[in-house]
Structure 1
Amino acid sequence: MRLVRYRKGEHTGAGALVGEYVHDMGDGPLGRTRPGPRVAALDEVELLAPCDPRVIVCAGSNYAGQIAEKQRPWPTQPALFLKAPNAVVGPGAAVIRPAGLRRLEYEGELAVVIGRTAREVTAASFADYVLGYTCANDVTADDWRADGQWARAKSADTFCPLGPWIETEIADPASLRLSTLVNGRTVQDGSTSEMVFGVGELLAFVTRWITLQPGDVLLTGSPAGVGPLVPGDRVEIRIEGVGTLSNPVLGPQPPEV
């Protein structure tokens, strides 16, 4: 099942896609097992980020190709960092390049959406805690990462596009093709089989110390080919069996008055 959050006029709701139609999911996909009445055709609604995470925990340097490309040492345990919830936007929403930034980067990633409270999960039982999977772009301000400002580099507004939906029918996320395209040109082309630490290992490591709740998100790392984005670009993250997340890139926006 493909679970969505959507806006139609003044109404915002949770739904499930059945063919090309959005069906109501009541108070949200975690509280209902079957789609309810039909709401609208997919092209009649605005898709939002498919979840509203309280915590977004991310794994860095988790693909063999990127480790080799950047000549980094082989990790002995996952390298974790956090993105703030304010960074989340949905499919089609603009990624805003902050003023004064020299280099903005894309990082296409598989995102794991948690389905029930996860604390001290074992690697073998990880699937019991997963609602499903979606596409993510771990947008990064490279200048600010280089000067040690990781919170700012990873958590500026719009720096965590998610979507277009949560796919719940993936039995095994260990070998999914993941591609990133900028203006239609493929710039990343990898597979989740290249992960150093798989989804189960990551969840087991994270939940030793961080309890994840339904709707929280784990980003699992990015393959080789991370590169720049400039205003006017359109970036797409495509994951086999999940879908395509597409977002335009805009320049600095004037403050609201």
Structure 2
Amino acid sequence: MAKKNDTAYANADFIPDAQSYPPRWTAEAEAFRERLTGEGRARLDLPYGDGERHAFDLFLPDGKPEGCVVFVHGGYWRAFDRKTWSHLAAGPRARGWAVAMPSYTLAPGARIGDITQEIAQAVTVIAEQVSGPLVLTGHSAGGHLVARMACRDVPLPAPVEARLRRVVPISPLSDLRPLIETTMNDDLRIDEDEALRESPMLHDQRRDVPVTVWVGGAERPAFLDQAEWLAEAWTGTELHVAPDRHHFDVIADLETPDSPLTRALLS
């Protein structure tokens, strides 16, 4: 039975030809991995924990890395993995940055709080692979997860925290309470207590870590609200609304080294 917030958070229903995006992403990601593997610039399936999905791919630039961008994928914590998004490393990599993409356990196999701790562990292990500053970004549920890394209640080792240069949540879910009244919550199992614990906008941000919230101007009103709520909750946070971008193409600019989104990551 449908629940009252299903339509508000149903992205694909409001994007023309939405079904064509996942196979296109997968094909572009596979081609990118093959090219980088052939060039000796891809390190694939690196473990960060003991779980089946506790692994990340690392894409290296042509020279010594300036630092590392960590991209966390979306899919409402229930879908996709790192292999769908490899091509989005192209923009930062062309600007001299390494890019790491972790997978994580999907709901209902893990609660959102557990996934948050997995990403904290992934960031910690990734930091051991590449020296220099760390930039965290992610899309949708991944935007939520990198925003959680910017919250003071999420433990990161002090040396890792000191290397955080910027966090850029893209179309993030910053308040989980509305998701309680969605059908997808049959898998997510969010209750009021977990919503309070895992909503970034309800936590203090880490000091001295700049945050830029990015969202598409053509996204569902609920996602525009979620982005605005986070920007309003965290003092000094920038909000950028990308004109005409919807939830599925707002991340496309990560493929381009001099796009506004890539520049925002690495500024």
Length-normalised TM-score, structure 1? 0.27
- Structure with the higher fraction of residues in helix conformation: 2
Q: TM-score, normalised by structure 2?
A: 0.27
- Which structure has more strand as a fraction of its residues? 1
